[in-house]
Structure 1
């Protein structure tokens, strides 16, 4: 299939784009004038509205990320920006001793290996176009929590990967940066069985009555969770070239949670 875009149009690939932070990133990049290829296990109506080029793909399997990247190359002829956002977690009620190998592998495949595979597939085009990679890590890479032990470890690996890639490919024009959000206000916090409900139950309250207390309960000094659009705004900044000499950096947006780490 011939490329659909030519000239100066910048092409972005975003993983884990179906909801929350990923969906906000797709919308923000599209509003900034980029053509966005979005990968998600489920292509929602909201994602279809955000970009006409959304691919249903399982990014946890070995060929999933390369399939998404190849789709972007076939459709648009190149890639200027790769946003590795997709993540997975396994949080058994019994903690670490209940976390079997299969759960660890699922978390690492979706959170870390998807980024390795997508970056590897996109790298020739990114280098040719002197593009950028933005990895969405987490405050838990430096502030691990027992109930998120697998995700914390995978995010720490992702943060480390970004710095290694930034050093290896800087001389060839590639910029690699990491954004590490703290708690972000998505449906994760309001969904049944989610962490919001768990915290509300511990406090003896209903979730709908507990939402205003969530920031204090999880230790956010600013008193509020970040909006997904705040993370997306940082991605747009890093992709824009307005901070062209920033590479190997980690931008933390956590409401002050890491003040003592």
Structure 2
């Protein structure tokens, strides 16, 4: 297993995966990452496009109704959509050989964008369209393309003082702990708790498994009941 990020974290190190440092918005990075993966194992079974996030750099843009400056839009689209597109492009030959699987990590913001920077929500909506469209392109190769849509998840984006929620609390003049505690109710999470990252990982594992051969173009929601539409 290869884990790719701009920098390692204790959580990544604990997985035992081989770490590759890369910025996937760099045009050369996808091919470099693929080379590193195939040097480890010539068979590539699964690609999980989990690079994402990208809150506006300027705190004031967190509440900008248009979702930030032109530079912010370019940056966020490159991270949440462009990285998945180019990583998939680089990996497709190896995935086709193995009849493998692609799982893209989306967000409930794609379908419920009212309380999130619009640039982020739009980038995830585009990722959903990419997932669904691409899933129909490779029936002969056996490559399956699907997505998992997390709701509010207990990650550093929510819990770290310098994460998205911490920065937003400063802009709003509300304590970070107060805002974090209110998130489940404000997000419509019926379980009363943010999603644990391990739940997202289990959904990815199941969706990527060869035993799920009929899951093609699916988008599995793991959000504690946030999305209300059937």
Q: Structure 2 length as normaliser, TM-score? A: 0.88
Instruction: Say whether residues 1:133 and 2:116 are aligned partners.
Output: no
The answer to whether the Cα contact below 8 Å between 1:200 and 1:210 also exists between their aligned partners in 2 is no
Residue of structure 2 equivalent to 1:246:
215
Distance 1:37 1:200 in 2: 36
Deviation at 1:140, TM superposition (A): 0.9
Cα deviation 1:42-94 (Å, max 9, x = unaligned): 02243233124110111111111221112111221131100001013233145
Distance change in 2, residues 1:202/1:45 (3 Å)? closer
Of residues 226, 230, 234, the one that matches 2:203 is: 234
Distance change in 2, residues 1:52/1:229 (3 Å)? closer
1:67-216 to structure 2, matched below 5 A, reads 67-91=32-56, 92-97=61-66, 99-145=68-114, 147-197=116-166, 198=168, 206-208=175-177, 211-216=180-185
Distance 1:75 1:233 in 2: 24
Comparing 179-188 with 226-235, greater Cα deviation is found at: 179-188
The answer to whether the Cα contact below 8 Å between 1:38 and 1:51 also exists between their aligned partners in 2 is no
Deviation at 1:169, TM superposition (A): 0.7
Deviation at 1:210, TM superposition (A): 5.4
- Structure 2 unaligned residues grouped into runs of 5+: none
3-state SS, counterpart of residue 102 of structure 2? strand
Distance change in 2, residues 1:173/1:256 (3 Å)? same
- Structure 1 unaligned residues grouped into runs of 5+: 1-35
Deviation at 1:257, TM superposition (A): 1.6
Deviation at 1:241, TM superposition (A): 1.9
Distance 1:193 1:38 in 2: 23
Deviation at 1:126, TM superposition (A): 0.5
Distance 2:222 2:62 in 1: 28
The answer to whether the Cα contact below 8 Å between 2:62 and 2:117 also exists between their aligned partners in 1 is no
Deviation at 1:199, TM superposition (A): 5.2
3-state SS, counterpart of residue 170 of structure 1? coil
Deviation at 1:211, TM superposition (A): 4.1
Cα deviation 1:146-197 (Å, max 9, x = unaligned): 5421111111111111111110112321111110111001122222254544
Q: Structure 1 length as normaliser, TM-score? A: 0.78
Deviation at 1:218, TM superposition (A): 2.6
Residue of structure 1 equivalent to 2:7:
42
Deviation at 1:100, TM superposition (A): 1.9
The answer to whether the Cα contact below 8 Å between 2:65 and 2:118 also exists between their aligned partners in 1 is yes
Q: How many residues align?
A: 225
Q: CA RMSD, aligned part only?
A: 2.2
